[in-house]
Amino acid sequence: MPLAYNIYNMIVIQDKEYGGERPLYTLHDARLERVTIHLGESSIKESGNIEAYDCTFQGKYVFWECRGFLAQDCRFETTARSSLWYSENGRLVNCQVDAPKMFRRMKGIELENCNFTDAQETLWDCDHVSIRDCKIQNADYFGMHTDNIRIERLHLDGNYGFQYSKNVEIRDSLLNTKDALWECENVTLTDCEVNGEYLGWYSKGLTLVRCHITGEQPLCYCEDLTLIDCTFGEDANLMLEYSTVRATIKGDVHSIKNPTSGSIIVEGRIGETIIDENRKAPADCTINELHAE
């Protein structure tokens, strides 16, 4: 392995190119600067305490079984799929990620100011995640089965986001995602815009604060749902079916159908309230309009 110098007890590798199978396998305590990892597999597998700056990754399975790594100002190209699995304490800062299926079965992930262009099946079965100032696109099934997530200023485009996840806080974010937050538990969204059909079905302990929600049939089959000063788009019809809910809603809503229990206060007009023979016990939810005459 060509070494440039050693500083702060770290091996420093600069301006090098590697490819093939496991070229830097079991590398520890190393700083990579302007390194290119060409096509191949498992280039830095079974490693630890790695810092990468201004590096380019083209091969698959780069940081597998890695205990502690930082990638800053780096590029993960389309061929670098599945580059971050089975690792702990990984941080990406100012990175461009064009490969899918990143982050599986990992614990301790920080993403800051990163752009993901093909985030399909990304962030699965992970724990303790922080995301700040990121744009994540083509992100079907993003964040599935992932717990203890803290998010600020995320722009997410992709369906089925955060399904089956627990203990999630999302603030100041834009989520364009159909079937999001299904069967999630203990999730809070604050000052967010959420666009997509069938939001939050079968969730438990979902809370939305000052959020704007669009899309058909939102928030059905929910248990212990809380809405605080939220607004809904004109297409948000047949909402809250079979949900237990405490809600204060700003503005008008299209239609409410068969909520199970709790209370709903709409500070506007309700286009239609549907309480029919299909309602479920205890069927005692109170619904009130507070619009001005």
pLDDT, tens digit, for every residue of 233-288? 999 999 999 999 999 999 999 999 999 999 999 999 999 999 999 999 999 999 99
pTM summary value: 0.94
What is d(CA 216, CA 37) in angstroms, rounded to the nearest whole number? Answer: 45
β-strand 10-14 against 5-7: which pairing, if any?
antiparallel
Distance of alpha carbon 173 from alpha carbon 141, whole angstroms? 17
What CA–CA distance (Å, rounded) separates 235 from 232? Answer: 8
Written as six digits, the tokens of 138 are 């083509």
Mean of the per-residue pLDDT values of the chain: 95
Which pLDDT score, from 0 to 100, does residue 5 have?
A: 42
Instruction: Tell the burial category of 257 from Cβ atoms under 10 Å away from its Cβ (0-12, 13-18, 19+).
Output: buried
Query: Residue 41, SS3?
Result: strand
Q: How confident is the model at residue 2 (pLDDT cuts 50, 70, 90)?
A: very low
φ, ψ of residue 162 in degrees (nearest 5): 60, 35
Query: What's the rounded mean pLDDT across residues 118-126?
Result: 97
- Confidence band for 290, pLDDT divided at 50, 70 and 90: confident
Give 160-214 pLDDT, tens digit per residue. Answer: 999 999 999 999 999 999 999 999 999 999 999 999 999 999 999 999 999 999 9
Whether the CB-CB separation of 241 and 222 falls below 8 Å is answered with no
